[in-house]
């Protein structure tokens, strides 16, 4: 009973940190960066951090820990598989739209694309995420996928999932820092980043929240006591997914 209580404490912390990340990145880009548009102006760029933090970090992290929730144990796994896949698809779509926002903005402003380490890490994380989602769909949701394939695929799926989250956090932190250096130069009546004006404090706080969220998610994923118990022997004869009752 005690491990379950501790789990829900961490899960509530995960949820609260995720909400705080979304609120923080939204306030930063709506209050300090002027709001949102889709017209090639700097307002279009503001969609990029909001969508990437929301999709590639918060929604992704919550989708990753879904199977750890004790409420899902001992039940038909199919609805939870579908919910996990849906959350991950939502995260992927938000991430892709976020990338479209920044590429379209750069093209409109005649700014080079993919020149910084931030952009390299972000593209790598999104590309790996897309491949992970396709492989997960093929390996775990298609009725024709055999148990032997799932057994071989599962360790890589779990490891890559945590790795993608780590890359996503690195991309977000480097992107926040890059953006603050770009906009807080001490010109046009703005204070320099080194003076820690309110916008810098908010951006730095967002970075700390993202790191804290990621650490909590990785803690949940790595704690053995919180892993979903096997509900049937691994060597049981293969049954198509749609006929499974308690995989």
Residues 83-98, buried b or exposed e (16+ Cβ, 10 A)?
ebbebbeebbebbbeb
For position 1, what pLDDT does the model report? Answer: 65
Averaged over 88-100, what is the pLDDT?
98
**DSSP label at residue 36:** -
Where do we find the tokens 């010109």? 187
Rg (C-alpha) for the chain, rounded Å, is 20
Could you give phi then psi for residue 166, rounded to 5 degrees? -60, -45
222 three-class SS: helix
Nearest to 221 by CA among 45, 7, 4: 7
Residue 238 and residue 24: Cα distance in Å, rounded?
Answer: 47
Residue 164 and residue 131: Cα distance in Å, rounded?
Answer: 11
Averaged over 193-217, what is the pLDDT?
97
pLDDT band (50, 70, 90) for residue 30 = very high
Residue 139 and residue 151: Cα distance in Å, rounded?
Answer: 10
Nearest to 169 by CA among 13, 35, 7, 17: 17
Averaged over 61-71, what is the pLDDT?
93
First-to-last alpha carbon distance for the chain, in angstroms, is 23
Q: What is the pLDDT of residues 150-161, one digit of tens each?
A: 889 999 999 999
Q: What are the structure tokens assigned to 116, written together? A: 């910084």
| Most confident stretch, 163-167, 222-226, 242-246 | 163-167
Question: What rounded mean pLDDT belongs to the chain?
Answer: 91
The model carries a pTM of 0.90
Q: What is the pLDDT of residues 167-186, one digit of tens each?
A: 999 999 999 999 999 999 88
Taking a C-beta distance cutoff of 8 angstroms, is the pair 18, 213 a contact? yes
């Amino acid at each position: 009973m005690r491990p379950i209580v501790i789990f829900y404490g961490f899960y509530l912390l995960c949820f609260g940190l995720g909400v705080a990340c979304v609120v923080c990145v939204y306030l930063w880009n709506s209050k300090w960066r002027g709001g949102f548009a889709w017209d090639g102006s700097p307002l279009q760029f503001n969609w990029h951090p909001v969508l990437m933090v929301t999709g590639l970090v918060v929604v992704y992290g919550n989708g990753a820990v879904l199977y750890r929730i004790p409420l899902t144990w001992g039940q038909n796994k199919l609805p939870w598989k579908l919910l996990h896949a849906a959350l991950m698809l939502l995260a992927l779509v938000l991430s892709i739209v976020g990338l479209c926002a920044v590429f379209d903005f750069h093209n409109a402003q005649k700014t080079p694309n993919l020149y910084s380490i931030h952009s390299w890490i972000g593209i790598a994380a999104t590309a790996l995420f897309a491949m992970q989602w396709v492989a997960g769909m093929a390996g775990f949701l298609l009725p024709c996928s055999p148990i032997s394939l799932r057994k071989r695929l599962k360790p890589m799926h779990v490891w890559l999932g945590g790795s993608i989250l780590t890359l996503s956090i690195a991309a977000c932190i480097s992107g926040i820092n890059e953006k603050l250096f770009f906009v807080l130069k001490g010109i046009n009546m703005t204070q320099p980043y080194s003076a820690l004006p309110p916008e810098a404090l908010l951006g730095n706080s967002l970075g700390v929240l993202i790191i804290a969220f990621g650490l909590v998610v990785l803690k949940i994923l790595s704690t053995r006591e919180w892993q979903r118990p096997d509900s049937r022997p691994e060597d049981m004869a293969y049954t198509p997914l749609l006929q499974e009752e308690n995989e």
